[in-house]
Amino acid sequence: MTKTTDAQFCGKCGVTEGSLHEVDCFSERCRQCGGQFISCVCIASYFYPESNNPREAALANGITEEQEAEWDAIIETLGGRVPYIDYPNLCCRCGKLWPDMFLVSDEEWARYVEPAHSHEMLCAECYAFIKSVIDANR
């Protein structure tokens, strides 16, 4: 694994680590839920709490400038917008930095990857090893 201490740049808006993303950058994280800020439903859920689908309610009824200002104040009390930091993908078994993505069915993943690691990333080589040793011992 190669560790870097050089500041990285957001691949979407170009800001350097430690800086705030440009407004509407797809990579910005939500301070409230940790999800993708531009697509999270936190603001919609706050202003439309009775709705079964807050996103649709917000799209249908809108979010006013006053509501946006109120939400911004709430986010400030939680620590403000989330600065960009590059958290690389790592294989949870060998530590390989930025392993290539690959696809297997959910059923196959559940059969070979223990539950404690089911939401982590594996490189193709480690996955193939895990699969081979499990199959060899069945």
Contact predicate 30/23, CB 8 Å: no
Angstrom distance (rounded) from CA 104 to CA 87? 24
- Does residue 3 surpass a pLDDT of 70? no
pLDDT band for position 1 (cuts 50, 70, 90): very low
**Where is pLDDT greater, at 16 or 1?**
16
Residue-level pLDDT at 105: 96
Angstrom distance (rounded) from CA 85 to CA 23? 16
- Does residue 137 surpass a pLDDT of 90? yes
Residue 113 class from Cβ within 10 Å (0-12 exposed, 13-18 middle, 19+ buried)?
buried
Residue 19 has phi, psi (to 5 degrees) of: -95, 160
Contact predicate 97/88, CB 8 Å: yes
Contact predicate 63/110, CB 8 Å: no
What's the token pair of residue 34?
């940790």
What does the pLDDT look like over 103-123, one tens digit per residue?
Answer: 999 999 999 999 999 999 999
pTM of the model: 0.67
What does the pLDDT look like over 43-80, one tens digit per residue?
Answer: 999 999 999 999 999 999 999 999 999 999 999 999 99
pLDDT band for position 4 (cuts 50, 70, 90): low
